[in-house]
């Protein structure tokens, strides 16, 4: 899915919600205990229930890798299910990959060719040749880590260089030499309030993928105040607040309600725009 | 395998060679074209041929992910094969993972519990809570990216902060608050000559995993001059120069010869030490 279509879907569905599919085996509802394909059953039910309220899904590779081959197969089948039944939803593999050129090429193949994702999160530490191979896949996106939502982000991302620039700002500035708004997005944590505004000044047109709303303490109003553009320009992710909203056999309805509530807040924000 | 045993194996085998198992499907010898389990056949033959000359193996996850579920299964069976038949070899998963705490915990489970690796490479960009969950696995190692061997390493790793410290130096200094020589190693590219000496000063006792000797242009003599300690303190990785040394049906013998040649150079270096 390209940028133009993503924007269309956002305004049609009145939502810029991304649902994180971190389907931790140990946190699945008890009613799935005897289901031999519990992760996939869970994902399918969550997707079916939340699809009307979101524009994107973001499975995190770690939760599937931790379940071994069965988990890897679940990730692949989840991606296939989304591509087949929900082709109008944007699919992000949250993998935070980053390796030298010939290896990055393999990760790109895995995310885009094998799993059929539209985008993959990439870590910037290794620089240009760890990112460029992903950008060779036309019509796909790199979502580059800039300022993450965790406590450890203060360790290096906020450190200033000789000219007073913070590392996350250098990452964004440098990466503008590699791609553009049609093939790059940035991860910017919602727990960082006005810092989203600092990022927005550097990349006025790129989409920002914003985790940290809800469970991690970020506010949707703050995110929109600093990050919203005339094309929306935001994908706001919620994971635990949606997929684990209800641990009973009504988990799918619980997820739908949580997603719907966020979608309504997002619709109110989009209504303020003159698109 | 703990640090003490690793050092014993290095001096017993007179080698600090790590063989990279980046078993790119498209580069396997033609004689394996009709083998339905070609990646595993290749890995097993390479391992059997090179085991006398090395102390560690390092499969890179990307090459297995790029081959889909079959690839993931091959990685798992390769790790099992190593643990069963070569328990005296150190096993590093080269995955360069890095994510928030609860997610990093999943990656640690995948590397240590599912695959049974001794160590995993981790990217530092997201800071403390992306690294600490790996260190909770006693008897295992984080191999933290410090200064990588690719061109893009200049983009951020070499940038200086307000006090003139380069980012890779800040990463190493900060990480000393998280772990020690018994559970942390560092990736330091061999293409960087004397920079290995700068790293050695910061971490006199930690093992350094050094890629870039051979195909990427680094020299073993330089690496040893700057990085060798009385306990060796080095794992020097070679990948393409060994596993793809010979593309004929004699590929395993070719790999053995290449590994043996490096081992002999390493033995000469170890002989200089008064261990």
Cα gap A188→A226, rounded to integer Å: 11
Cα gap B126→B160, rounded to integer Å: 18
Q: Which two tokens stand for residue B243?
A: 């596993």
Average pLDDT, chain A: 95
Q: Name which of B199, B251, B259, B265 is nearest B43 in CA terms.
A: B251
Q: Which two tokens stand for residue A92?
A: 């992000």
Q: Is the pLDDT of residue B131 over 90?
A: yes
Contact call for residues B25 and B75 (beta carbons, < 8 A):
no
Average pLDDT over every residue of B119-142: 98
Name the closest residue on chain A to residue B77, using Cα atoms.
Answer: A69
Q: Is the pLDDT of residue A275 over 70?
A: no
Q: What is the pLDDT of residues B73-120, one digit of tens each?
A: 999 999 999 999 999 999 999 999 999 999 999 999 999 999 999 999
The whole-number pLDDT of residue B33 equals 95
Q: Is the pLDDT of residue A180 over 90?
A: yes
The whole-number pLDDT of residue B179 equals 97
Cα gap A66→A25, rounded to integer Å: 9
Q: Which of A213-217, A256-260, B49-53, B223-227 has the lowest mean pLDDT?
A: A213-217
Cα gap B170→B165, rounded to integer Å: 7
| C-alpha count within 13 angstroms, C-beta hemisphere, residue B205 | 9
Tell me the CA end-to-end span of chain B in Å, nearest whole number: 20
| Residue given tokens 């010869």 in the structure block | B257
Name the closest residue on chain B to residue A70, using Cα atoms.
Answer: B69
A156: chain B residues, CB-CB within 8 Å: 124-125, 127, 167, 170-171, 174
CA distance, residue B62 to nearest chain A CA (Å): 5
Q: Is the pLDDT of residue B217 over 70?
A: no
Cα gap A199→A149, rounded to integer Å: 14
- How far is residue B152 from each of residues A129, A259, B157, B172, B220, measured CA to CA in Å? 5, 40, 9, 19, 22
E strand or H helix at B44: helix B38-50
Query: Which three-class secondary structure state does DSSP give residue A96?
Result: strand
Q: Report, as residue numbers or ranges, the catalytic residues of B.
A: 96
Cβ distance A148 to B100 less than 8 Å, yes or no, reads: yes
Q: What is the pLDDT of residues B157-201, one digit of tens each?
A: 999 998 999 999 999 999 999 999 999 999 998 776 789 999 999
Cβ distance B127 to A76 less than 8 Å, yes or no, reads: no
The whole-number pLDDT of residue B53 equals 98
Looking at A136-189, list the stretches that DSSP marks H as alpha helix, in order from N- to C-terminal side: 153-156, 167-175
Q: Is the pLDDT of residue A89 over 70?
A: yes
Among B93, B97, B126, B148, which would you mutate to test the A interface (most chain A Cβ atoms within 10 Å of its Cβ)? B126
Q: Please state whether beta strands A17-21 and B17-21 pair in parallel, antiparallel, or not at all (unpaired).
A: unpaired
pTM of the entire predicted model: 0.97
Looking at chain A, list the stretches that DSSP marks H as alpha helix, in order from N- to C-terminal side: 3-13, 38-50, 61-65, 68-85, 101-108, 128-135, 153-156, 167-175, 195-202, 220-227, 240-243, 251-271
CB neighbourhood size of B133 (10 A) = 21
Q: Is the pLDDT of residue A216 over 80?
A: no
| DSSP states along A13-76 | HT--EEEEE---GGGS-GGGTT-TTHHHHHHHHHHHHHGGG-SEEEEBHHHHHTTHHHHHHHHH
B179: chain A residues, CB-CB within 8 Å: none
B73: chain A residues, CB-CB within 8 Å: 69
Nearest to B125 among A123, A149, A162 (CB): A123
The whole-number pLDDT of residue A132 equals 98
Q: What is the pLDDT of residues A105-157, one digit of tens each?
A: 999 999 999 999 999 999 999 999 999 999 999 999 999 999 998 999 999 99
Nearest to B66 among A73, A114, A157 (CB): A114
Query: Which three-class secondary structure state does DSSP give residue A123?
Result: coil
Q: Which two tokens stand for residue A196?
A: 């989203």
The whole-number pLDDT of residue A273 equals 87
Burial class (CB in 10 A: 0-12, 13-18, 19+), B265: middle
Q: Is the pLDDT of residue B8 over 70?
A: yes
B68: chain A residues, CB-CB within 8 Å: 76, 110, 114
Count of all residues that appear for chain A in the document: 275
Q: What is the pLDDT of residues B16-39, one digit of tens each?
A: 999 999 999 999 999 999 999 999
Cα gap A32→A36, rounded to integer Å: 8
Nearest to B155 among A63, A114, A174 (CB): A174
Contact call for residues A145 and A131 (beta carbons, < 8 A):
no
Average pLDDT over every residue of A205-230: 88
Q: What is the dihedral of CA B1, B75, B266, B147, to 10 degrees?
A: -90
Name the closest residue on chain A to residue B149, using Cα atoms.
Answer: A100
Contact call for residues A167 and A158 (beta carbons, < 8 A):
yes
A127: chain B residues, CB-CB within 8 Å: 150-157
Backbone angles phi, psi at B23, to 5 degrees: -85, 70
Average pLDDT over every residue of A65-91: 97
Q: Name which of A268, A245, A270, A269 is nearest A256 in CA terms.
A: A245
The whole-number pLDDT of residue B151 equals 92
Q: Is the pLDDT of residue B223 over 90?
A: yes
Ranges assigned E (strand) in chain B: 17-21, 56-59, 90-97, 119-122, 141-147, 184-188, 208-210, 234-238
What ipTM was predicted for this assembly? 0.96
CA–chain centroid gap for B37, Å, is 25
């Amino acid at each position: 899915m390209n940028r133009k279509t993503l924007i269309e879907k956002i305004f049609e569905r009145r939502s810029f919600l991304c649902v994180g599919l971190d389907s931790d085996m140990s946190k699945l509802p008890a009613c799935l205990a005897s289901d031999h394909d519990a992760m996939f059953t869970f994902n399918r039910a969550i997707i079916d229930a939340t699809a009307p309220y979101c524009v994107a899904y973001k499975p995190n590779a770690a939760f599937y890798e931790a379940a071994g081959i069965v988990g890897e197969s679940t990730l692949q089948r989840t991606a296939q299910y989304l591509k087949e039944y929900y082709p109008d939803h944007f699919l992000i593999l949250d993998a935070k990959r980053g390796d030298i050129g010939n290896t990055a090429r393999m990760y790109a193949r895995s995310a885009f060719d094998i799993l059929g994702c539209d985008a993959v999160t990439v870590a910037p530490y290794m620089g240009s040749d760890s990112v460029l191979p992903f950008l060779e896949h036309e019509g796909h996106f790199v979502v580059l880590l800039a300022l993450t939502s965790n406590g450890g982000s203060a360790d290096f991302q906020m450190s200033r260089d000789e000219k007073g620039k913070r590392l996350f700002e250098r990452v964004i500035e440098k990466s503008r030499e590699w791609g553009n708004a049609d093939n790059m997005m940035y991860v910017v944590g919602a727990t960082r309030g006005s810092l989203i505004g600092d990022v927005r000044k550097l990349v006025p047109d790129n989409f920002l993928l914003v985790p940290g709303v809800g469970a991690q303490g970020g506010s949707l109003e703050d995110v929109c105040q600093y990050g919203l553009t005339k094309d929306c320009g935001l994908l706001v992710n919620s994971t635990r607040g949606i997929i684990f909203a209800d641990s009973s056999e009504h988990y799918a309805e619980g997820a739908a309600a949580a997603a719907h509530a966020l979608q309504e807040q997002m619709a109110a924000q989009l209504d303020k725009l003159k698109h």
